[in-house]
Amino acid sequence: MNIKKPKNGREMKELIESLKTDKGGYNKETLAFLGAWPPKKGWKQQLINEANQSYLQGQLENFKKEKEEKRENLMVEIKKNSQEIIRVESKEYKGNKFVDCRVYFLDKETQEYRPTKKGISFNHGVAKEVIEALLEVIETENYNSFETN
């Protein structure tokens, strides 16, 4: 038999119905093909449930993959002034992950932000130290007026 594998329970139910014999039953070959030979009570519902479970598992894996991609491509923009932003993002180059902090200017022709040479990139370990140093400097120099969002 050359039949497309069902993606979900609805498609499995349609497949099961389409494989009925002229008399409305199922033959051994069909049940073996479906993985239901020898047939046990509730075999149709079991196949439908398994197809739904497989579909939901695939959806969950896709969701996790998308979430991981978003995490890997995390980007935060901070408005520096009316013409510039500071973009902080996680990047990967030649298998190495790093944090890139760069100033971008607003291109007046395209109205898109373009990178400048002003910026710095460092690995995640150094990023933690930089954050701690920034907080220490801000707290030491300007503790009374320092506010966070």
pLDDT in tens, 46-87: 999 888 888 888 888 888 787 776 666 678 899 999 999 999
pLDDT value, residue 57:
84
pLDDT tier for residue 90 given thresholds of 50, 70 and 90:
confident
Whether 135 shows a pLDDT value over 80: the answer reads yes
pLDDT tier for residue 141 given thresholds of 50, 70 and 90:
confident
Are 15 and 31 spatial neighbours (Cβ–Cβ below 8 Å)? Answer: no
pLDDT value, residue 95:
85
pLDDT tier for residue 105 given thresholds of 50, 70 and 90:
very high
Can you tell me the distance from the alpha carbon of 36 to that of 46, in angstroms, rounded to the nearest whole number?
A: 9
Can you tell me the distance from the alpha carbon of 104 to that of 118, in angstroms, rounded to the nearest whole number?
A: 8
Whether 121 shows a pLDDT value over 80: the answer reads yes
Whether 93 shows a pLDDT value over 90: the answer reads no
The pTM for the full model equals 0.47
Instruction: For the domain covering 74-145, report its CATH number.
Output: 2.30.31.10
Q: What is the residue type of 51?
A: A
Q: What is the mean pLDDT of residues 4-30?
A: 89
Residues 6+ apart with CB under 8 A from 99: 88, 89, 90, 91, 121, 122, 123, 124, 127
* Range(s) within the chain of domains with CATH label 2.30.31.10: 74-145
Can you tell me the distance from the alpha carbon of 139 to that of 134, in angstroms, rounded to the nearest whole number?
A: 8
Can you tell me the distance from the alpha carbon of 50 to that of 73, in angstroms, rounded to the nearest whole number?
A: 34
Q: Which residue has the tokens 């009570």?
A: 41
Whether 149 shows a pLDDT value over 60: the answer reads no
Mean pLDDT for the chain overall: 86
Q: What is the DSSP annotation of 22-81?
A: TTSS--HHHHHHHT--S--TTHHHHHHHHHHHHHHHHHHHHHHHHHHHHHHT-EEEEE-S
pLDDT value, residue 144:
58
Q: What is the mean pLDDT of residues 88-115?
A: 90
Q: Which helix (H) or strand (E) holds 140?
A: helix 124-142
